[in-house]
Amino acid sequence: MTAIHSQLIVDKNKASQAAFERDFSHLGEQLARRGIQIDQVCAQVATFGVALPSWGVGTGGTRFARFPGLGEPQHVFDKIQDCGVVHQLTRVTPTVSLHIPWDTCSDWSELRGAAQNAQLQFDAINSNTFSDQTDQTRSYKFGSLSHTDPATRAQAIEHNLACIDIGMQLGSKALTVWVGDGSNFPGQQHFRRAFDRYLESTAQIYQALPDDWQMFLEHKLCEPAFYSTVIQDWGSSLMAANALGNKAQCLVDLGHHAPNVNIEMIVARLIAAHKLAGFHFNDSKYGDDDLDAGSVSPYRLFLVFNELVAAAHEGVAGFNPAYMLDQSHNVTDPIESLMCSAIQCQRSYAQALLVNRIALDEAQQSNDALRATQLLKEAFQTDVDPILEHVRRSQGAAADPLSTYRASGYRQSVARSRKRSPSTASGIV
Ligand code: AFD
Ligand code: MN
Ligand code: MN
């Protein structure tokens, strides 16, 4: 079952077919002159997928306000339906990542069925111990897994175990743990003891992981704690992952670093340590802005993918990172932002596949800095859109997902059946 009428996709694709064929054949010729077979690139791009965050289909907000959009999903089944639209039109987002308890459901097997109908599966499950739920006994105001009070830590551990249980019913294979734990004042927290408490708690969660599961540890330099955070950076994350064991790895959310940090180098280090769990893709200018992937710095996103493609090319053992979007759509239709961002990740991947790795090795070996950097630019500056469109067309997706979505009237249609969200309360998604 699909949410967008498939005939609309067929008709719109047909209307732009002739122009597409000319563009594709021209790019094929250009790449052939560079010794690249376009069909091989297409085949690799066709394997690329990025997970959708269930919270991404709702309108996000800031600390100041949230301006709800039309036809926002009212429950997790609506969210799955919206994610299905993104996947139907792009064919690049085959999985959804749930967040507990933002996503609630009385029958998880029913949800699994609904996802299957939308041709979706479940990616990592996310726990939430950074905000208090109405029915919870102890508060996370001063931390969760690293809280000074053992009973609060136990409650946070219990929640993560419940998430694993839900994830097992959905077919997830990973638990992503991000904690808001930290401090707002110098002296408020004993840094080493807080980290030790975090390790002790996460070890108990780790113990409960099924054999074929992984635990993704997400670091973040600040917010909601603004002086220090317990898992502040990739170093702390790597220390924790090493202490826990093979199934624990480090997740890189692009927005969780100070401005100007060389994230692609962090990625290379984590690959070297065999500890790169995967990504939350987004973009930022100032902090954890959660802007759309590649909207501000597409070159930086390309440089991250360059490290990933290089690692795969060099056959790094066990290299298999998980890709996900993690964005807050405050002023756009979330479905539109998610489609464009997923395609942007796919674009960066395709561009990274075009890097002439033999020539780059030679340039690096002979210290030819200018040639080396030009080789990256040559790949980045290639307009790979005909490749992406070819992959979409051959998979039955929309040649132009954005215009097809707008022509479908999906948002207006769900706006009629979904109640307008009353919540304008502030809140970062
Ligand atoms: C918050 C965090 C982090 C996390 C997400 C879901 O900043 O990015 O992945 O919540 O838990 O936005
Ligand atoms: Mn994240
Ligand atoms: Mn974030």
Q: Does 103 contact ligand 1 (Cβ within 6 A)?
A: no
pLDDT above 90 for 175: yes
Mean of pLDDT values over 284-303: 97
Work out the number of other CB atoms within 10 angstroms of the CB of residue 366.
10
Structural contact between residues 309 and 349, judged by C-beta atoms closer than 8 angstroms: yes
Q: Which tokens belong to 231?
A: 């898992």
Work out the number of other CB atoms within 10 angstroms of the CB of residue 285.
11
Mean of pLDDT values over 205-219: 98
Mean of pLDDT values over 326-330: 97
Q: At what angle do helices 108-117 and 76-90 cross, to 10 degrees?
A: 20
What whole-number distance in Å separates Cα of residue 176 and Cα of residue 124?
Answer: 6
The best mutation among 218, 254, 256, 279 to test binding of ligand 1, ranked by most ligand atoms within 8 Å of the C-beta, falls on: 218
Instruction: Give the Å distance between the CA of 5 and the centre of ligand 3.
Output: 34
Please give the mean pLDDT across all residues of the chain: 97
- Residue 328 alpha carbon, nearest atom of ligand 1: 12
What whole-number distance in Å separates Cα of residue 163 and Cα of residue 133?
Answer: 15
Instruction: Give the Å distance between the CA of 7 and the centre of ligand 2.
Output: 36
The best mutation among 221, 222, 326 to test binding of ligand 1, ranked by most ligand atoms within 8 Å of the C-beta, falls on: 326
pLDDT at 420: 81
Beta strands in 219-321 (DSSP E): 228-229, 248-253, 276-281
What whole-number distance in Å separates Cα of residue 246 and Cα of residue 342?
Answer: 29
% of the chain at pLDDT higher than 70: 98
Instruction: Give the Å distance between the CA of 125 and the centre of ligand 3.
Output: 15
Q: What are phi and psi of 218, to 5 degrees?
A: -105, 125
Instruction: Give the Å distance between the CA of 128 and the centre of ligand 1.
Output: 9
Instruction: Give the Å distance between the CA of 240 and the centre of ligand 2.
Output: 18
pLDDT above 70 for 265: yes
In terms of Cα–Cα distance, which of 286, 308, 307 is closest to 297?
286
For 77-127, the pLDDT digits (tens) are 999 999 999 999 999 999 999 999 999 999 999 999 999 999 999 999 999
- Residue 128 alpha carbon, nearest atom of ligand 1: 11
Mean of pLDDT values over 158-168: 98
Instruction: Give the Å distance between the CA of 8 and the centre of ligand 1.
Output: 36
For 40-84, the pLDDT digits (tens) are 999 999 999 999 999 999 999 999 999 999 999 999 999 999 999
Instruction: Give the Å distance between the CA of 248 and the centre of ligand 2.
Output: 17
Structural contact between residues 57 and 98, judged by C-beta atoms closer than 8 angstroms: no
3-state secondary structure of 241: helix
Nearest-CA residue for ligand 1 atom 2 is 178
Rg of the chain taking only CA atoms, in angstroms: 22
For residue 185, give every residue at least 6 positions away whose Cβ sits within 8 Å of its Cβ, in sequence order, or none: 227
- Residue 280 alpha carbon, nearest atom of ligand 1: 9
What whole-number distance in Å separates Cα of residue 173 and Cα of residue 323?
Answer: 13
The ligand with the least distance to the CA atom of 55 is 1
pLDDT above 70 for 412: yes
Antiparallel, parallel or unpaired: β 182-183 and 228-229: antiparallel
What whole-number distance in Å separates Cα of residue 290 and Cα of residue 267?
Answer: 19
Mean of pLDDT values over 146-150: 98
Structural contact between residues 93 and 86, judged by C-beta atoms closer than 8 angstroms: yes
Instruction: Give the Å distance between the CA of 286 and the centre of ligand 2.
Output: 16
Antiparallel, parallel or unpaired: β 214-218 and 174-177: parallel
Question: pLDDT grade, residue 421 (50/70/90)?
Answer: confident
- Residue 220 alpha carbon, nearest atom of ligand 1: 7
For residue 368, give every residue at least 6 positions away whose Cβ sits within 8 Å of its Cβ, in sequence order, or none: 362
Q: Does 307 contact ligand 1 (Cβ within 6 A)?
A: no
SS (H, E, C) 90-130: HCCCCEEECEECCCCCCCHHHHHHHHHHCCCEECCEEECCC
Q: Does 257 contact ligand 1 (Cβ within 6 A)?
A: no
Instruction: Give the Å distance between the CA of 253 and the centre of ligand 3.
Output: 7
Structural contact between residues 402 and 336, judged by C-beta atoms closer than 8 angstroms: yes
pLDDT above 80 for 429: no
Structural contact between residues 201 and 231, judged by C-beta atoms closer than 8 angstroms: no
The best mutation among 181, 219, 253 to test binding of ligand 1, ranked by most ligand atoms within 8 Å of the C-beta, falls on: 253
In terms of Cα–Cα distance, which of 7, 156, 58, 173 is closest to 429?
58
- Residue 53 alpha carbon, nearest atom of ligand 1: 6
pLDDT above 80 for 331: yes
Q: Which tokens belong to 254?
A: 């692009």
Position 128: which residue type? N
The ligand with the least distance to the CA atom of 127 is 1
Q: What angle is formed at CA 46 by the lines to CA 394 and CA 275, rounded to 5 degrees? A: 165
The ligand with the least distance to the CA atom of 290 is 3
Buried b or exposed e, range 80-109, using 16+ CB within 10 angstroms? bbbbbbbbbbbbbbbbbbbbbbbbebeebe
For residue 292, give every residue at least 6 positions away whose Cβ sits within 8 Å of its Cβ, in sequence order, or none: 282, 283, 327, 329, 332, 337, 340, 341, 344
For 346-405, the pLDDT digits (tens) are 999 999 999 999 999 999 999 999 999 999 999 999 999 999 999 999 999 999 999 999
What whole-number distance in Å separates Cα of residue 122 and Cα of residue 168?
Answer: 10
Question: pLDDT grade, residue 1 (50/70/90)?
Answer: low
pLDDT above 70 for 241: yes
pLDDT at 85: 98
Q: Does 219 contact ligand 1 (Cβ within 6 A)?
A: no
Mean of pLDDT values over 213-223: 98
- Residue 127 alpha carbon, nearest atom of ligand 1: 11
What whole-number distance in Å separates Cα of residue 135 and Cα of residue 125?
Answer: 21
Instruction: Give the Å distance between the CA of 326 and the centre of ligand 3.
Output: 7
The best mutation among 127, 163, 178, 329 to test binding of ligand 1, ranked by most ligand atoms within 8 Å of the C-beta, falls on: 178
Q: Which tokens belong to 18?
A: 């002739």
Mean of pLDDT values over 148-177: 98
Q: Which tokens belong to 31?
A: 């790449």
Q: Does 292 contact ligand 1 (Cβ within 6 A)?
A: no
pLDDT above 70 for 320: yes
Whether residue 101 has a cis bond before it, omega within 30° of 0: yes
3-state secondary structure of 148: coil
